[in-house]
Amino acid sequence: MDKHLFVIIGGTGDLARRKLIPSLYDMLAEGGHLGSCVVLGVGPTELTDAGYREMTREALSAAGFSDDDVAQWCDDCIHYQQIGREPATYAALAERITEIENEHDLPGNRTFYLALPPSVFTTALEGLGSNGLSTSDGWARVVIEKPFGTDLASAHELNEAVHRWFDESQVYRIDHYLGKQTVQNLLVFRFANALFAQAWDRENIDNVQITVAESLGVEGRGGYYDAAGALRDMVQNHLTQLLTLVAMEPPVAFEADAIRTEKVKVLKAVKPIDSTDVVYGQYDGYTDEPDVPPTSTTPTSVALRLSIDNWRWQGVPFYLRTGKSLRARTTQIVVTFREPPVWLFGGPEEHIAPNVLVLTLQPDEGFDLHFEVKSPAEDDGLQTQALRFRYADEYGDIPMAYETLIQDVVEGDQTLFVRSDEVEESWKLYQPLLDKTVEPHLYEPGTWGPDANDELPARDGNHWWAP
């Protein structure tokens, strides 16, 4: 691993303390690279290096890391710099970076992680760029957290602000779903297994469902969430990422731009979404949440029916749904294959169960392939059974998403990060829906969302897979 400086702008915030510092530490410790990375926390709070080291130790201890290596790393490799809100205050940051790089004999490799509220992304980019921090003697990379814009226009504006100072090859837009091992496994599953690769098209697949269900409500984030809603918070990013990975063509190489180019092609091929193919919901009690206006119509669930207008997927419906306060936390992709062309078993009234592949991305990660068997008891006819694989049975604990992503940033691999055109294509797809007034159906917490969700697959003679 290259020796580098990891600058966390927003270094005292919740994301830094709960996710970034523990993930960074675990990644470095596991690989034996603790000496390669110096951290510079940056924030508006007045703090000394010693104060920030203490905060880092506490964050690591809360995440279960508290041995001698932790204490040593904090003493040797952690620094802090206070900055204000104005881009000009980044001049002090630039000076401090030079000082720290000299002290630690670093070659100028720098990651700038913007762990900030979106309202200050542009100021931070401007601050970095106008103070000469977008280039260096080594490499300079910038990591931008979601949400990347709140609609097409703001995403485009933010891309322009990014490109004013940074080349796209330096930019890492985070969608933490791409850091999940099981999400990455979608590509392996599809392209390393000829059996599935060959069956992955309209000839063999009847429909595809993507469910990202959460059992929790807005959990004190009412202020942010009420302005965002489920379409912006989950669909434009996480569910759309899953959609592109499921539907993309084989890339010419397993390489960042080849993969991202194929994902963009999927987005361009999605037909404009008809508003009759969208169902919004709001859980009962949402408007009583702190910071949510009592008259809010913000949707806390969305279900959609999409069509992909290309040779592979013509005529295959894709059903997407997500929501808060649902019955369980589960992320699943369900691929239902076509029925056999001729049914030899039993009369027409006999139930024909198609083969179904269920990829469970979280929790209980793994897959189940449902198929028909003859039951040994002669009268019982056919029964559905499943081939089952679970990650935990074979591999134990799965690394945290952020750990994978931070490692990729430091190694300069952009495969799991969203490219500028990709983020804009995705917003383009949902913008017409964002422009319309929303009237969500009320649903009871602890259910799978409003009953109206069922109408989307029902129109094609299908139903949601019960997780």
Span 370-409, contacts to ligand BG6 by CB under 6 A: none
Nearest distance from C-beta of residue 366 to ligand BG6, angstroms: 16
Longest dimension (CA), the chain: 81
What is the smallest separation between the CB atom of 399 and ligand BG6, expressed in angstroms? 13
Q: Which is nearer to ligand BG6, 313 or 448 (CB)?
A: 448
Residue 346: how many CB atoms within 10 A of its CB? 11
336 vs 360, beta carbon nearer ligand BG6: 360
For residue 194, the minimal CB distance to ligand BG6 (Å) is: 31
List the catalytic residue out of 4, 79, 176, 238: 238
365 binds ligand BG6 (CB under 6 A): no
- Burial class of residue 244, CB neighbours in 10 A (0-12, 13-18, 19+): buried
Q: Which of 93, 98, 97, 173 is nearest to 127 (CA)?
A: 93
- Catalytic site includes residue 33: no
Non-local (6+) Cβ contacts of 269 within 8 A are 308, 309, 310, 313
Per-residue contact string for residues 232-251; x = within reach of ligand BG6 by CB under 6 A = -x------------------
Q: Which residue is nearest to ligand BG6 (CB)?
A: 233
Task: Between 233 and 277, name the residue whose CB sits nearer to ligand BG6.
Answer: 233
- Our CB check for ligand BG6 shows the closer of 78 and 246 to be 246
The least CB distance from residue 178 to ligand BG6, in Å, is 11
User: Residue 70 burial (CB < 10 Å; 0-12/13-18/19+)?
Assistant: middle
Q: How far is the CB of 146 from ligand BG6 (least distance, A)?
A: 6
Binders in 143-172 for ligand BG6, by CB under 6 A: 146
* Of residues 271-330, those binding ligand BG6 (CB under 6 A): none
Residue 391 beta carbon to ligand BG6: minimum distance, rounded to whole angstroms: 16
Q: Which is nearer to ligand BG6, 317 or 323 (CB)?
A: 323
Residues in 205-234 that interact with ligand BG6 by CB under 6 A: 214, 233
Q: Is 158 helix (H, G, I), strand (E, B) or coil?
A: helix
Place of tokens 């940056």: 42
Q: Does the bond joining 376 to the residue before it have cis omega, within 30 degrees of 0?
A: no
**CB closer to ligand BG6, 57 vs 146:** 146
* Minimum CB distance to ligand BG6, residue 226 (Å): 12
Nearer to ligand BG6, 211 or 407 (CB): 211
Alpha helices in 131-214 (DSSP H): 152-165, 181-191, 194-199
Contact 130, 101 (CB under 8 A): no
Q: CA-to-CA distance for 90 and 96, rounded, in angstroms?
A: 10
Q: Which of residues 12-41 bind ligand BG6 (CB under 6 A)?
A: none
Nearest to 242 by CA among 306, 149, 170, 337: 306
Q: 287: Cβ–Cβ under 8 A, 6 or more apart, which residues?
A: 293, 294, 295, 296
CA distance 366 to 213: 17
CB of 221 to ligand BG6, least distance (A): 7
Size of interface with ligand BG6, in residues (CB under 6 A): 3
Strands 301-306 and 318-323, sheet pairing: antiparallel
Question: Using CB under 6 A as the criterion, what x/- string covers residues 117-146 for binding ligand BG6?
Answer: -----------------------------x
Nearer to ligand BG6, 53 or 146 (CB): 146
Q: What angle do CA 398, 403, 405 make, to 5 degrees?
A: 115
**Residue 131 CB neighbour total at 10 angstroms:** 18
> Which residues of the shown chain bind ligand BG6 in the complex (CB under 6 A)?
146, 214, 233
Among all residues, which ones are annotated catalytic?
A: 238
